[in-house]
């Protein structure tokens, strides 16, 4: 099964051959272009001189070609001054940029090769993982031990293979409440759906798994989550599970409730956040819905200000980070942008503590800000 996943997720030698053929066609078309401006013509001649050697190398590449040799050949060719994407060669040069001239070996030709090379490493890694898994299972059996994944897998298998256990277990509970649902995985989703909904919760089985619905007609499943706050992908959490489970609950007459009323922030702040994040979460309309879901895209949902007390403006403080002049550090390397941001923010907080006046609701007098009041 894992070998099949490798076949699906990695490039093949045929993929590499196709992208090299595409590069050859576009490069030949560029080399044959005539009547270019003087500067572009000089670059064309140098590319024409160097291209045959690189083409010969690319055609001889196999899965066993060392990545260092491949990178050296590509980088040597990329040292040739490339033409500017203007005039009648604009589209052609843009295609060549995407194929080979993109910065940091990000063109489709080198990326296809590296993915093809990774295919072999992945196959060897699976062999190692299989040995580790077998040894781990042997050790757990010897010690009569189960890990956390075992508990979940065996619990789900028990519920699937023994309907009487499912009926007895689900019948004990009327309410199921799950917080931070955006950080669950498919296995945990299936467990909860079995107990509370009588299905796996996945789209493929909604119409077919109805055998125990009657025993759970009085059950209530309540999940809370925010797809934008999913942070446990490295532990197997799948943010798309939240969307799928929400759809499953809706199909079973569940009610979605949007917690978009903000009782903490003042109206000007809420307006500012809505304006900012509407742009941050803006999506290219040409991307299909299925692809958006695969990418984990989440639409922006505007907040509604519900706080009654208001403080006179301004309530938003914009900190503008200006790049320091070249000699501002006395010859030392300039600080990184994130470091400058942190220093600027820290300086602003320090300037507020003990100096600015903070007014309390219902009071006309202010008091100095301290760590405690902040």
- CA–CA separation, 183 and 241 (whole Å): 9
Angle between helix 186-196 and 148-161 (nearest 10): 40
- CA–CA separation, 341 and 206 (whole Å): 49
pLDDT band at 352 (very low <50, low <70, confident <90, very high): confident
Question: What is the pLDDT at residue 372?
Answer: 53
Query: Which one of 113-122, 135-144, 166-175, 186-195 scores highest in mean pLDDT?
Result: 135-144
DSSP-derived letter for residue 228 is G
User: Which 3 state secondary structure label does DSSP give 358?
Assistant: strand
- For 367, phi then psi, to 5°, come to -140, 155
- CA–CA separation, 309 and 264 (whole Å): 10
Q: Are 63 and 117 in contact (CB under 8 A)?
A: yes
The residue written with tokens 């569940």 in the block is 254
CATH of domain 149-257: 3.40.50.300
- CA–CA separation, 91 and 106 (whole Å): 19
Q: Mind listing the pLDDT tens digit for each residue in 216-244?
A: 455 689 999 998 888 888 888 888 899 88
pLDDT of 35 above 80: yes
Annotated domain spans of the chain: 2-115, 149-257, 262-315, 317-374
- Which residues are within 8 A (CB) of 214 and not within 5 positions of it... i.e. 6 or more apart? none
pLDDT of 265 above 80: yes
Average confidence score pLDDT of the chain:
84
* Ordered alpha helix ranges (H), the chain: 2-9, 13-31, 38-60, 67-78, 90-96, 108-143, 148-161, 163-170, 186-196, 239-251, 267-280, 289-294, 337-352
Cα three-residue angle 314-319-325, rounded to 5 degrees: 145
Q: Mean pLDDT throughout 294-312?
A: 85
The CA distances from residue 21 to 56, 74, 83, 240, 246, in Å, are: 12, 16, 21, 37, 46
């Amino acid at each position: 099964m894992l070998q099949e996943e490798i076949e699906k997720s990695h490039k093949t030698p045929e993929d590499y051959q196709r992208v090299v053929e595409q590069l050859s066609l576009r490069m030949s078309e560029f080399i044959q272009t005539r009547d270019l401006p003087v500067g572009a013509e000089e670059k064309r001649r140098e590319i024409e001189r160097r291209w045959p050697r690189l083409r010969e190398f690319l055609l001889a590449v196999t899965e066993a070609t060392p990545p260092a040799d491949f990178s050296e050949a590509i980088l040597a060719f990329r040292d040739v001054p490339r033409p500017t994407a203007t005039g009648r060669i604009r589209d052609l040069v843009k295609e060549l940029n995407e194929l080979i001239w993109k910065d940091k070996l990000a063109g489709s030709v080198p990326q296809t090769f590296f993915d093809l090379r990774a295919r072999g490493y992945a196959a060897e890694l699976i062999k190692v993982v299989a040995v580790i898994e077998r040894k781990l299972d042997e050790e757990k059996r010897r010690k009569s031990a189960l890990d956390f994944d075992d508990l979940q897998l065996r619990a789900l298998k028990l519920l699937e293979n023994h309907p009487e256990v499912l009926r007895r277990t689900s019948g004990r509970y009327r309410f199921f409440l799950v917080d931070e649902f955006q950080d669950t995985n498919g296995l945990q989703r299936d467990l909860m759906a079995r107990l509370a909904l009588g299905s796996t919760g996945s789209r493929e089985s909604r119409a077919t798994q109805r055998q125990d619905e009657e025993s759970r007609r009085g059950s209530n499943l309540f999940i809370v989550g925010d797809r934008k706050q999913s942070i446990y992908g490295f532990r197997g959490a799948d943010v798309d599970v939240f969307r799928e489970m929400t759809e499953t609950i809706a199909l079973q007459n569940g009610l979605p409730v949007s917690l978009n009323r903000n009782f903490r922030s003042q109206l000007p702040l809420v307006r500012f956040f809505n304006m900012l994040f509407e742009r941050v979460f803006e999506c290219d309309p040409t991307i299909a819905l299925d692809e958006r879901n695969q990418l984990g895209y989440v639409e922006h949902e505007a907040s509604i200000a519900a706080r009654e007390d208001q403080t006179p403006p301004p309530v938003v403080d914009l900190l503008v980070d200006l790049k320091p002049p070249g000699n501002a550090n006395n010859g030392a390397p300039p600080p990184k942008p994130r470091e400058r941001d942190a220093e600027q923010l820290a300086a602003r907080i320090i300037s507020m503590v003990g100096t600015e006046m903070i007014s309390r609701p219902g009071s006309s007098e202010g008091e100095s800000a301290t760590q405690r009041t902040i």
